[in-house]
Amino acid sequence: MQKIFVINGGQYFAHSGGAFNKTLTALDQSFFTTGNGFELQVTDINQPYDPAEEVAKYVWADTIIYHFPVWWFSMPNKLKEYIDVVFTAGHRNGMYYSDGRKSATPDLHYGTGGLMQGRKYMVTTTWNAPETAFTLPGEFFNQTSVDDGVLFGFHRMNAFLSLEKIKGIHFHDLEKNVTQQQIDDYSRRYLRHLEQSFISSELSLAS
């Protein structure tokens, strides 16, 4: 059984109800079943949590999946607080031992103190921005991808734990111009992504 830990970072705030991130989490729950060969744990950052229990979920998991909307080019504040609290609790408790440096070489090997080797993570993000804002010349993000730009620090954060990245998926134009057809198309796209990432890859390794 593959062990999957899903973090729903779709925060309720102002006009945001976290609806599509809730949809993605529900799709996870329908996909990562014991019948498909998975064990699943889920955390919703809108609900109370115990930091030690969340550390235990990280250490338990083979793969951590993050879902969150991008607010002002970063994580929502409750997800950032969750990361700050849980990662601090994870120090020398199975997530990371130190920043990796030794007193003899203080300028070298920063970020190599993670304790989660062999485990993986995947991220989805939701945006008001259209995909063309990242891809067209002269548009806002200067042809810099989500992963290389806004999420650069997020990916290094997970690398600090020695987690290996699985290719994620990003969903655009989900506020100003969203339609039900778009939500349905994105939902089907996400399920295909899960099949390719978690079932097809396992079958290819077994063959």
Angle 101-77-25 from CA coordinates, rounded to 5°? 95
Q: What is the mean pLDDT of the chain?
A: 94
SS3 state at 101: coil
Q: In 116-186, at which residue ranges do the beta strands (DSSP E only) sit?
A: 120-126, 164-165, 169-171
The C-alpha atoms of residue 101 and residue 185 are separated, in whole angstroms, by: 46
How confident is the model at residue 16, as a pLDDT? 72
Cα 93 to Cα 57, 59, 88, 163, 185: the distances in Å are: 12, 9, 9, 15, 41
Task: Return the minimum-mean-pLDDT range out of 80-89, 114-123, 169-178.
Answer: 169-178
What pTM value is reported for the model? 0.95
Higher pLDDT among residues 122 and 16, named by residue: 122
Q: Distance (Å, rounded) from C-alpha 98 to C-alpha 14?
A: 38
Taking residues 105-128, report their average pLDDT: 97
For residues 175 and 130, the answer to whether their CB atoms sit within 8 Å is no
Asked whether the predicted pLDDT for residue 34 surpasses 60, the reply is yes
Indicate whether 74 pLDDT > 60.
Answer: yes
pLDDT tier at 207, thresholds 50, 70, 90? very low
The arithmetic mean of pLDDT across residues 176-196, rounded, is: 95
Q: Residues 92, 136: contact at Cβ < 8 Å?
A: no
pLDDT tens for residues 155-174? 999 999 999 999 999 999 99
DSSP state of 125: E
Confidence of residue 203 (pLDDT cuts 50, 70, 90): very low
pLDDT band (50, 70, 90) for residue 201: low
205 has pLDDT over 60:
no
C-alpha to C-alpha distance for 66 and 151, rounded to whole angstroms: 12
